[in-house]
Amino acid sequence: MAISLGTARTRRRRPRESRERDGRLAFWLVIPSVIVLTVVIAFPVISSVVRSFFGDGIGDVPFVGFQNYADALWGYGAQEFWAATGITYLFAGVTIVLETLIGLGMALVANRAFRGRGLLRASVLVPWAIPTAVAAVLWKWAFDPQGIINAITGSTVVWTGSAVPSIIAIIIADTWKTAPFVALLILAGLQIIPDDVYEAAKIDGASAWKRFWYITLPLVRPALLVAVLFRLLDALRMYDLPEIMTNGANGTATLSVLVVQSTLSQLKPGYGGALSTLTFALIFVTAYLFVRLLGVNAVDQASSGKGAGR
């Protein structure tokens, strides 16, 4: 932002003594947040990793090394773990593609519309604002055998009763809930593209399609990729929808559902710890690959505060 220039200048002018005082003040200002994050996130994550090397049960548990990981990866739990991994990535892949396409379409329309834009903005925010738990209940009933979906399509499918229809139902619910949010992120990227670029292209005789392909897409790419990255991190942790709509039945148990089931319902903290560590590792590696392969600089953006869009 323009003002950060001014800040930099004042900073340089400041003498060393006041910078030290800054440091002390900053410490006291930052420490409450750091403590909360450490207690609630860093400590549990570490203790869950440590716990994953011990056996299940309560009280004195034996050290089992990588046994829990072996169980999950190729032991007795391999089948459900890989099934959960598969369905998690299937959900993430399909919903992200659908949400990005629909979101891009919505953003392009919203960017061109002048009348009714406020109304559009408000209606786009409605699916985002509805609690996922409520949305899950809503879609669960819509997909009831006697529900509205079957009434409209004239089918008699028991949606949440078998694998493929359950998966479709969850994908539809997630797409409805999140595509508008993706649209908002992309719209913000579209709005920083200056109008004169389009004017120039128009004067040069570029067709609407060419303007979209050679101007809009490349210029909106940073915003698009950040939106996809956000969605990727979120979609790989999907929990509420499968938990409420199918209870993880019919092969819809995502990694998150599986972790909760094995730790809280089946009381296997060691094995559950291994599962959650594996889940985190998968998410981290996927996000890392995504950032490396596609060159999203979300991290840069976070630390420098400068937009990728300009």
Site for other proteins in 75-94 (CB under 8 A): none
Min dist CB 186 to other proteins, Å, is: 9
Q: Which of 157, 287, 290, 291 binds other proteins (CB under 8 A)?
A: 287
Pick the binder of other proteins from 104, 170, 253, 259 (CB under 8 A).
259
Return the residues of window 35-74 that contact other proteins according to CB under 8 A. 36-37, 39-45, 47-48, 51
| 242 closest CA partner among 97, 132, 125 | 132
**215 binds other proteins, rule: CB under 8 A:** no
DSSP state, 160? G
Candidates 33, 79, 153, 156: give the one binding other proteins (CB under 8 A): 33
The whole-angstrom separation of Cα 190 and Cα 213 is 13
Query: CA of 263: how far to CAs of 179, 237, 266, 301, in Å?
Result: 32, 16, 6, 36
The two tokens of residue 246 are 């199918």
73-107: burial string, b at 16+ Cβ within 10 Å, e else: eeeebeebbeebbebbbebbebbbebbbebbbebb
What is the closest distance, in whole angstroms, from the C-beta atom of residue 250 to other proteins in the complex? 18
Q: Which of 75, 206, 237, 290 binds other proteins (CB under 8 A)?
A: 237
What minimum distance in Å lies between the beta carbon of 251 and other proteins?
Answer: 19
Q: Which is nearer to other proteins, 73 or 138 (CB)?
A: 138
Q: What's the one-letter identity of residue 149?
A: I
User: Which of 262, 108, 279 is closest to 186 using CA atoms?
Assistant: 108
- CB 244, min distance to other proteins, A: 6
| Footprint of other proteins on 168-207 (CB under 8 A) | 176, 179-181, 184-185, 187-189, 191-192, 195, 199
Applying CB under 8 A, the site for other proteins has a residue count of: 119
Backbone CA torsion sign across 47, 52, 58, 62 = negative
Helix residue ranges, H only, 236-306: 240-245, 255-260, 269-294, 298-304
Q: Residue 310 in 3-state DSSP?
A: coil
Helices 78-112 and 217-235: angle between axes, nearest 10 degrees: 140
Q: State the DSSP H helix or E strand holding residue 131, giving kind and residue range, or none if neither.
A: none
Question: Interface with other proteins includes 283 (CB under 8 A)?
Answer: yes
Of 75 and 307, CB closest to other proteins: 307
Work out how close the CB of 181 gets to other proteins at its nearest, in angstroms, rounded to a whole number.
7
In terms of Cβ atoms closer than 10 Å to its own Cβ (0-12, 13-18, 19+), residue 5 is exposed
Measured from the CB atom, the residue of 95 and 276 that comes closer to other proteins is 276
- Of the candidate spans 61-69, 91-99, 153-161, 239-247, the one that interacts with other proteins by CB under 8 A turns out to be 239-247
> Is residue 164 near other proteins by the rule CB under 8 A?
no
Among 280, 290, 291, 297, contact with other proteins (rule: CB under 8 A): 280
Answer for which of 23, 59, 154, 205 binds other proteins (CB under 8 A) is 23
What part of residues 103-162 is at the interface with other proteins (CB under 8 A)? 105-106, 109-110, 112-114, 116-127, 129-139, 141-142, 144, 146-148, 151
